[in-house]
């Protein structure tokens, strides 16, 4: 079974001990349980089981109720594993950033990394977004910024799946609906937007028109509601800006703190990511971003113009 394989992987490569795995297996089998019942069923002494439970709660692999006595549960194992990976990524970022800060005191450290796996590209995007204070993004053709979705996660999932159904294989962001990685990317962007980090998107007019066309297919009332929601989010979080240019963008370009660049594109039907840590390279792409921005118009103009016709 897939869950057994994941448990074996967690124990072999992510530092979980045998007692951690026993608890996870029991919660998968029996559902929500208290510590005393878990101790009895797993054979882990009650005096020691809280240490293992606290480890699993802290690392996001299990949930704990606020009631007393506490009840522990998994509530969707694959989602718990994804949250655990996010927790691991956060910890790695903190350690890596500290080391990079020490190194950068002496000289710039340059590196280029090629990534061809879809999930690794997503995790690299999440990692670099979380570690940065500011992000500039040139959005690939037929994609939209996350702030164009509602900050209500259930609404995001419905809208993502609807867009995927309507557009088929068109557009990297529309393709595949609200799969696990898309949800994690959505949560990461939502978190950084709400935290006040500066994020500036440039998208092309074709993608804006496609987005508005898809909204129109939902019906007038739903279209009006979504546009008002997006305008409200852009007003509430002025740290997030979206501009629109005429020409299409063939690749996604993300610039982090004007020091790192991550390119994302599709080559021969397969995703490809190129991460470059180089201030010179970042300066080049920042100049390109600024040149596009000089010819761009705020996204609110298009949204308000559409709203005025409804």
Q: What's 151's domain CATH number?
A: 3.30.870.10
The answer on 249 and 183 residing in a single domain is yes
The answer on 63 and 140 residing in a single domain is no
The answer on 302 and 217 residing in a single domain is yes
The answer on 116 and 29 residing in a single domain is no
**Chain mean position to CA 34:** 32
Lowest-pLDDT range of 122-136, 216-230, 258-272 = 258-272
Q: What's 45's domain CATH number?
A: 1.10.10.10
**Chain mean position to CA 259:** 21
Task: Give a yes or no: residue 88 inside a domain.
Answer: no
Alpha carbons 167 and 145: distance in angstroms, whole number: 17
Name the 3-class secondary structure at 52.
helix
The answer on 73 and 118 residing in a single domain is no
Task: Give a yes or no: residue 25 inside a domain.
Answer: yes
pLDDT in tens, 149-200: 999 989 999 988 888 888 765 544 456 667 778 888 888 999 899 999 999 9
The answer on 279 and 137 residing in a single domain is yes
DSSP 8-state code for residue 258: T
pLDDT in tens, 13-50: 677 888 998 998 888 888 899 999 999 999 999 888 98
Task: Give a yes or no: residue 186 inside a domain.
Answer: yes
Residue 95 is predicted with a pLDDT of 59
Overall residue count recorded for the chain in this entry = 310
Task: Give a yes or no: residue 72 inside a domain.
Answer: yes
For the chain, give percent helix, strand, coil, nearest 5.
Answer: 55, 15, 25
Number of structural domains in the chain: 2
The answer on 236 and 149 residing in a single domain is yes
Q: Which of 5, 226, 240, 263 is nearest to 139 (CA)?
A: 263
pLDDT in tens, 99-126: 555 555 445 557 888 888 888 888 888 8
Task: Give a yes or no: residue 261 inside a domain.
Answer: yes
Domain boundary among 77, 94, 119: 77
The answer on 265 and 186 residing in a single domain is yes
Task: Give a yes or no: residue 93 inside a domain.
Answer: no
Beta strands per DSSP E along 126-259: 134-138, 198-204, 240-245, 252-256
Domain that holds residue 213: 108-308
The answer on 183 and 63 residing in a single domain is no
């Amino acid at each position: 079974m897939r869950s057994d394989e994941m448990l074996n992987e967690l124990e072999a490569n992510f530092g979980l001990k045998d007692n951690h795995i026993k608890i996870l297996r029991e919660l998968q089998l029996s559902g929500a349980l208290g510590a005393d019942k878990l101790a009895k069923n797993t054979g882990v002494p009650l005096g020691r089981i809280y240490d293992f439970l606290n480890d699993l709660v802290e690392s996001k692999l299990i949930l704990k109720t606020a009631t007393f006595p506490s009840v522990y549960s998994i509530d969707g194992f694959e989602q718990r594993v994804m949250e655990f990976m996010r927790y691991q990524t956060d910890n790695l970022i903190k350690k890596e950033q500290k080391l990079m800060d020490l190194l950068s005191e002496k000289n710039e450290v340059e590196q280029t990394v090629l990534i061809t796996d879809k999930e690794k590209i997503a995790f690299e995007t999440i990692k670099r977004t979380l570690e940065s204070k500011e992000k500039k993004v040139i959005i690939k053709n037929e994609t939209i910024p996350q702030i164009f979705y509602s900050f209500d996660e259930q609404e995001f999932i419905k809208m993502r799946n609807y867009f995927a159904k309507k557009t088929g294989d068109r557009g990297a962001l529309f393709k595949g609906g609200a799969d696990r990685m898309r949800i994690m990317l959505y949560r990461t962007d939502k978190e950084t937007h709400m935290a006040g980090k500066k994020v500036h998107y440039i998208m092309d007019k074709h993608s804006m028109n496609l987005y508005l066309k898809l909204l129109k297919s939902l019906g007038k009332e739903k279209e009006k509601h979504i546009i008002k929601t997006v305008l409200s989010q852009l007003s509430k979080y002025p740290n997030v800006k979206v501009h629109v240019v005429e020409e299409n963008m063939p690749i996604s370009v993300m610039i982090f703190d004007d020091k790192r660049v991550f390119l994302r594109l599709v080559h021969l039907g397969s995703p490809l990511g190129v991460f470059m840590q180089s201030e010179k390279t970042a300066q080049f792409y920042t100049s390109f971003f600024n040149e596009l921005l000089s010819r761009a118009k705020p996204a609110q103009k298009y949204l308000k113009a559409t709203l005025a016709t409804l």
